[in-house]
Amino acid sequence: MGMASYGRSFILNNTSETGLGAPSSGQGTAGSTTREKGFLSYYEICYDIMYQNWTEIWLDEQKVPYAYHDNQWISFETPKSIAIKTKYIMDNGLGGGMMWALDLDDFHGVCGQGKNPLMKTMKDVFSGKPGLDFVPTALPVVVG
């Protein structure tokens, strides 16, 4: 199962409609480092949430977050969503997990979660490391 260390961003049509499925009109603003419209690294996303007043929302049914600020909206992974997906891999006997792309995780630790928090979380869950109390003990199996 593949997991991303980046997010996909969009421009909201209406800043008062920020939820899942909100109408959008194209790719979000390019990041200061990645410099590609509609695409931000995890370290850019967590920096924006911490220091640029973005609002982060957790979608319990989908087990993932999204964030928004002004007319920008982004979906992405966090250590919590990575842990849940990694546990799903283990619970369902899947072949493994992979992260795309290694250089887009927070490799400098600027977001206060240590270095490479997404990859470290995946490794810790696969290793059975204790202390990951946000990982459910069992996840529902979804059949196509």
Q: What is the DSSP letter of 36?
A: B
Percent of the chain exceeding pLDDT 70 equals 90
Distance CA 107, CA 126 (A): 20
Distance CA 123, CA 99 (A): 11
- Please give the average per-residue pLDDT across 47-72, as a whole number: 96
CATH number of 1-128: 3.10.50.10
Please say whether the beta carbons of 68 and 52 come within 8 A. no
Residue whose entry in the numeric block shows the structure tokens 């891999």: 89
- Please give the average per-residue pLDDT across 9-20, as a whole number: 98
**pLDDT tens string 60-92:** 999 999 999 999 999 999 999 999 999 999 999
Least confident of 18-32, 84-98, 125-139: 125-139
Count CB atoms within 10 A of the CB of residue 132.
Answer: 16
